[in-house]
Chain A
Amino acid sequence: MAVFDDLKQAIISGNRAQAKELTKAALDEGIEAKKIVVDGVAAAMAVVGEKFRANEFFVPELLIAQRAMKEALSLMSGESVNHIGTVVIGTVKGDLHDIGKNLVAAMLEGAGFRVVDLGVDVSPEKFVETAKAESADLIAMSALLTTTMGSMKDTVATLDSEGLKGKVKVIVGGAPVTQSYAEEIKADGYAPDAASAVDKAKTLLS
């Protein structure tokens, strides 16, 4: 359908305003929200993914496409837009580095997760409280300094003491973090970068 071609193009080129406009137009015309999501939005993001893999698109193009996608989805009601899951994400206590965490958050959203971003310097208590309040499926934690990494362990312990271990999964990342560290602190997963974080999150929630 022509309207989907234009919508797809708007998302692929990262044109937020146009994506929103075209989505509204489609809804006004009576087209089912689900159809718009599958044939318009998801189809566009598949093209974006392909272009990224082929080194035609880079991270900035990926991110603005995701932003346009978010605009489009914001117009459609909850039931027709199924989130894969809810993720609470943040940089651990004592640490202010967030560029990596921001990338992961953006990619998770782009992949269809609902993301609650707590920012930086987040205490274990805050992670767990928010996870409870938002019925989160996953807590994602980032650390750049070895002196702050220990906080990840505390978060897992707090989750456990609240009886949420297993119900809320934990994934960790950041330069000094490794697979074996994740295993040591009994996190559910580790990812070295944003793209694999998304894959890991999907696997954990499946």
Chain B
Amino acid sequence: MRVNQQVNHTVQFHLLSEEQLEEVYRAALHLMEYTGLDVHNAEARALLSGVGAWVDGVRVRLPSSVVEKALGSAPRSFTVFSRESDSSKDLHIGPGRFHYGPGPTCPNFMDPRTGEVRTYTRADARAVATVCDALPNIDFVESLGTVSDVPPAVGDVHEFAEMIAHTGKPIVAWSYAMEGCRDIHRMAVAVAGGDDASVRRPNYIFYCEPLSPLVSSKEAMDKVLYCAQHRVPLIFTPCVIGGGTGPSTMAGIIAQAAAESWLGLVVSQQLSPGTPFCMGGVVSCMDMKTMTFAYGAPELSLLQAGLTELAHYVGLPLWTTGGCSDSKVVDEQAAIEGALSVLFATFSGGDLCHDLGYVESAMTGSLQQLVTMDEAIGYVKRIARGIEVNPDTLAVNVIDEVGPGGNYLTEAHTLAHFRREFWLPSLMDRQRRETWEDRGRATMGGRAQARLTELLASHEPTPLPQEATDSIERVLTAANARAEH
């Protein structure tokens, strides 16, 4: 019997020390207290003023005690429930747990059959939801596009309607304006079975964004207020472009992002203390040659890990970013950039990692990239799981039995352990060259496409109950009518 043992159950990764995190935290509070933020929403300003903020026109400054109070009331853990009775699709957010999903609102979409880059339709929303529902390592759903074959003002509502009918995994929703936000909520409530059910067992997450640097628009605040009022789990996620809409130094980017996100936190917690809240968001550098926001940059991995650690330091889950690329095509660059950001999101434990499937710096959504990243997640998770060390795995007796010059192929120990110790690839190929040639010399891109085609053809998501479908139909009809005026 061994005593006094401390083991690593997973690999250990730390970017910033406690004191560095404390310093970044204080810097964010300082920004909120002395620089302040512009809040273009009278109701929100009134709320903040009531809780002790100093308001001058649209400029709001929050004393750190106000922010600290809000941090104290937001939950570190909560659950978002699948609409199916299959509880394995529930999203349990909390310390040590991490999840993955695609991203929304790409202007273009890569055709899932031909690879051609084109506009995105309702049918694509259905396809994306179906594929997400089927992929083993994808936990939540976003659309990878912007629906264009419906009246523009209601694209958000149609997207949600299509997706919720074709997946049991929780959706992270967004909307153009308040009407869409309300419609989406109506649909989600119908699926949940009523307002009360929706509050006690929320079935979707809503996300909206401040504007960097340090600005919150009227619509964004309206959405925050609405979500708090209805206790919809909320993500308030900044998108700071280092060198453009934020400083060019990593630490400053993180501090600014935190300040922007926590404005949404304070408003939501003040209105409805305990509303589940996710800090966010998407932080990277501006490429100073091409002026693109670099989704594939190593700085993204670094910044996201730093932001994750800060979120956990103050007791919040983080909406993080990974699996995305600046490449125009789903090539080796897309694989490198996606894999590295997935790796660091996993190691730092970013609670909800989104934008998997983004290519062309978020201009194009790609299911081919998503399928590839699903494999990368499995790969990375095996590493994160670490090495199990116990008398059985140390195998000293087995080594002795096999002896110098022997082999382990038929050992009972081998049979007992190899399936758990070894990750089984689905898309990665380990065949000898001759076999690979005989089977058609497929590259991973080819295999990913084949997998995608197969999933689209064969996967059947659990349908919605008729009642929910009818309710959703009613919401859509009303939305369309509204759009016509």
Contact = CB atoms under 8 A, between A and B. Distances in A.
Contacts of B419: 58
A187 interface: no
Interface string A43-74: 00000000000000011110110010000000
Contact of A67 (B407, B410, B414, B433): B410
B396 interface: no
Nearest to B438: A196
A130 B418 CA distance: 37
Given A60-B409, A63-B409, A106-B409, A192 B414 contact: no
Given A60-B415, A102-B407, 7 more contacts: A58-B418, A59-B409, A96-B405, A98-B407, A103-B409, A192-B434, A193-B435
B432 A61 contact: no
Which of B410, B415, B419 gathers most chain A CB within 10 Å? B410
Interface of B: 405, 407, 409-410, 414-415, 418-419, 432-435
B432 A192 contact: yes
Contact of B409 (A14, A96, A102): A102
Given A60-B409, A63-B409, A63-B410, A193 B415 contact: no
26 contacts: A58-B418, A59-B409, A60-B409, A60-B410, A60-B414, A60-B415, A61-B415, A63-B409, A63-B410, A64-B410, A64-B415, A67-B410, A96-B405, A98-B405, A98-B407, A99-B407, A99-B409, A102-B407, A102-B409, A103-B409, A106-B409, A106-B410, A192-B433, A192-B435, A193-B434, A196-B434
A60 B407 contact: no
Contacts of A106: 409-410
| Secondary structure type dominating chain A contacts | helix
Contacts of B435: 192-193, 196
Chain A, interface size: which category?
10 to 19
Contacts of A192: 432-435
Interface in A182-200: 192-193, 196
Most A C-beta atoms less than 10 A away, residue of B409, B418, B432: B409
Contacts of B433: 192
Contacts of A58: 418-419
Interface in A77-117: 96, 98-99, 102-103, 106
A64 B414 CA distance: 11
Contact of B418 (A60, A67, A103, A193): A60
A63 B415 CA distance: 10
A132 B184 CA distance: 82
6 residue pairs, one from A and one from B, having the closest CB atoms: A192-B434, A192-B432, A63-B410, A60-B415, A193-B432, A60-B414
Contacts of A96: 405
Nearest to B411: A60
Contacts of B409: 59-60, 63, 99, 102-103, 106
Contacts of B410: 60, 63-64, 67, 106
Contacts of A99: 407, 409
A41 to B, nearest CB: 18
Interface in A165-206: 192-193, 196
Interface string A121-157: 0000000000000000000000000000000000000
B405 to A, nearest CB: 8
Contacts of B432: 192-193
Contacts of A67: 410
A106 B407 CA distance: 12
B340 to A, nearest CB: 29
A101 B414 CA distance: 19
B67 to A, nearest CB: 53
Contacts of A103: 409
Contacts of A64: 410, 415
Contacts of A193: 432, 434-435
